[in-house]
Amino acid sequence: MSKADSYDTFLELDAGRALGDLSPDELKEWEELAAIHQDEDPTGFDFLVAELEVHNATTTSVPPSLSSLLSETIHEFSNDKEEKKDPAPVSNNISIFPWLGWAAAACLLIFFNPFGQKPPKEIIQELTASEKLETLLDEAPLATQSLAFSPASDLYKEVTGEVIWNDDRQEGYMKLSNLPANDPNQNQYQLWIVDPERDELPVDGGVFDFPSESDVAVIPIRNALPVNKPVAFVITLEQPGGVVRSKQEIVVALAKTS
Amino acid sequence: MEGQGGSEAPLLPLVAKGDARAMKRCIDQYAPLVWSIVNRRINVQRDAEETCQEIFTEIWQKASKFNSSKSKESTFIGLIARRRSIDWLRKQNRLPPLATLDHLDDHASPQSLAGNAIDRGKLWEMLGKLPSKTLELFSLHFEKGMTHEEISGQTGIPLGTVKTQLRRGLIEARKLLKDFWAETDQEVAT
């Protein structure tokens, strides 16, 4: 194969790599040719396909279940930040592309464990919800609002507690007492956050259980979407896993601004 | 989608420093884009959502590789989202994954092919010069998220030809942009 032919083949395989359509044999050939054509910009096709993808993407609303999942992830990122270190600076003296020779092996490693770090999912929760609430109150007492819960019906007349919420940190907790224990297989409690400036529909604040042995429970709020000026927090009883939109058939408690 | 994330100060430099609040804003801003890219390819809801979570984890870990002179923030995030989605598809077909972004900051090119050195309007003006057949394939692949097999099924073009035409279309697109920059550089020099 002449050098020109080799370059043409490399370009075609590199385009295939960016498109994600390389067969295992082509991947091997690409690795060999990439080692020869080191002067080629290794990112040109990548950014180009990404630009094509982003330009053509149609914004679709994120499903509530994904919003909840990402909200959980945000809490884990907060826990992870102490562990995050600035990466070592990249030396300009490195003239070879380190990705060339070991790309396939590195791909596998990166795929399963990028940078050798534990993904946030696996980070052990160091603080309990109570401890996190104390931290929030210590660190941002002025920006944190507190509202008392009132029972919404006779069935829940013993329920007491408060909701503590911080707009800036998008972080909040409920402290609840005397809530009847639920059977998670039958139903679960769900919090709703009313933020009229955002939407007339309340934002899902997360599904939670109240175990029988609890006197006072501190429950973190897992808002599916950002809320800025909440005026009320409502607890309902819903089917296991919660609902996207509550019919408010069983309203347990309510906390609202005066 | 054009201009997404381009008008505001980039969040990724803050994310790279471990700013969890910036990461939250990043998720708020880009989750619809990421979901759009993932949802076009992964038709299993749970896998699609887990992939989105993995994408934001990867963004958290690799934010330091973002270079605003090389790409727009949305392009960088789109690149990660696209790679992860393709890896999911490749995994279903028992093919090795291709996801690696470790080389993104290794090249000292002053201009990237989709970077901030050119505005998106110009970029798309250049790409508009591609043959209509190529643009049609691009639309099916990038806009509708169709696999090569699906494109072949819809258009009647043999699978191997779809693969070749997409690759060559991409090469052609890159050449158009390189020529554009060569001309721009010359104009600047004179």
Per-residue pLDDT reduced to its tens digit, B63-87: 988 888 777 899 899 999 999 998 8
Question: What is the reported pLDDT for B146?
Answer: 86
B108 touches chain A (CB under 8 A): yes
Q: Which ranges constitute the DSSP H helices of A22-115?
A: 24-36, 44-56, 64-80, 103-112
Partner-chain residue, chosen from B39, B76, B99, that has the shortest CB–CB distance to A110: B99
- Nearest-CA distance from B104 to chain A in Å? 6
Q: What is the pLDDT of residue B103?
A: 55
pLDDT greater than 90 at residue A206 = no
* Cβ pair B102:A106 closer than 8 A: yes
Q: What is the DSSP string of A16-47?
A: HHHHT---HHHHHHHHHHHHH-TTS-TTHHHH
Please say if the pLDDT value at position A155 is more than 70.
Answer: yes
What average pLDDT does range A96-125 have in this prediction? 34
Q: Is some CB atom of chain A closer than 8 A to the CB atom of B157? A: no
Q: Is the pLDDT of residue A53 over 90?
A: no
- Computed over every residue of chain A, the mean pLDDT equals 76
pLDDT at residue number A237: 94
| Segment A164-175 mean pLDDT | 88
Q: Indicate if the pLDDT at residue A255 is higher than 60.
A: yes
Instruction: Give the residue from chain A lying closest to B145, CA to CA.
Output: A53
| Best CA proximity match to B172, nearest among A63, A84, A201, A44 | A44
B28 touching A (Cβ < 8 Å)? yes
User: Where does the pLDDT of residue A89 fall: very low under 50, low under 70, confident under 90, or very high at 90 and above?
Assistant: very low
Tell whether the model's pLDDT for residue A86 goes beyond 50.
Answer: no
**Quick one: pLDDT at residue B110?**
38
Contact B79 A98 (CB under 8 A): no
pLDDT given at position A184: 81
What was the pLDDT predicted at B185?
Answer: 62
Rounded Cα distance, B101 and A227, in Å: 34
Per-residue pLDDT, averaged over A173-199, amounts to 88
Q: How far apart are CA B72 and CA B121, in angstroms?
A: 13
Region A114-119 average pLDDT? 36
Phi, psi angle pair for A249, to nearest 5°: -70, -40
Q: For B107-162, what is each residue's pLDDT tens digit?
A: 434 344 444 445 667 777 788 889 998 999 998 988 888 888 899 999 999 999 99
Domains of chain B with CATH codes: 1-104 (1.10.1740.10), 117-190 (1.10.10.10)
Residue B87 CB neighbours (<10 A): 20
H or E element, residue B181: helix B159-189
% of chain A beyond a pLDDT of 70: 75
* Mean pLDDT in residue range A174-194: 90
The alpha-carbon gap from B87 to the nearest alpha carbon of chain A, in Å, equals 8
- A-B interface: how many C-beta pairs under 8 angstroms? 228
pLDDT exceeds 90 at position A85: no
SS3 A235: strand
- Select the more confidently predicted residue: A90 or B53: B53
Cα–Cα distance for residue pair B60/B74, rounded to 1 Å: 14
Among candidate residues A13, A19, A20, A2, the one with its CA nearest the CA of residue A40: A13
- Output the pLDDT for position A123: 35
Predicted TM-score of the model (pTM) = 0.56
Task: Please tell me the predicted confidence (pLDDT) of residue A54.
Answer: 86
Which of these ranges, A8-22, A202-216, B107-121, B162-176, has the smallest mean pLDDT? B107-121
- Specify which residues A147 forms β-bridges with: A163
Nearest 10 degrees: Cα torsion A160, A163, A164, A166: -170
Say if the Cβ atoms of B79 and A47 lie within 8 Å.
yes
In whole numbers, what is the pLDDT of chain B averaged over residues? 80
Give the least confident one: A35-49, A77-91, A134-148.
Answer: A77-91
Residues in chain A: 258
List the single range of A12-26, A148-162, A205-219, A243-257 with lowest mean pLDDT.
A205-219
**What confidence score (pLDDT) does residue A127 get?**
66
For B33, the enclosing helix (H) or strand (E) is helix B20-41
Contact indicator for A72, B27 with CB cutoff of 8 Å: no
CA angle B113, B26, B62 (to 5 degrees): 60
With CB atoms and an 8 Å threshold, state whether A120 touches B108: no
Q: Is A211 helix (H, G, I), strand (E, B) or coil?
A: coil
Find the helix or strand (DSSP H, E) in which A145 lies.
strand A144-148
Residues of B in contact with A53 (CB under 8 A): 37, 78-79, 81-82, 142
Contact B104, B67 (CB under 8 A): yes
| pLDDT of amino acid A115 | 33
Q: Which residue has the higher pLDDT, B40 or A118?
A: B40
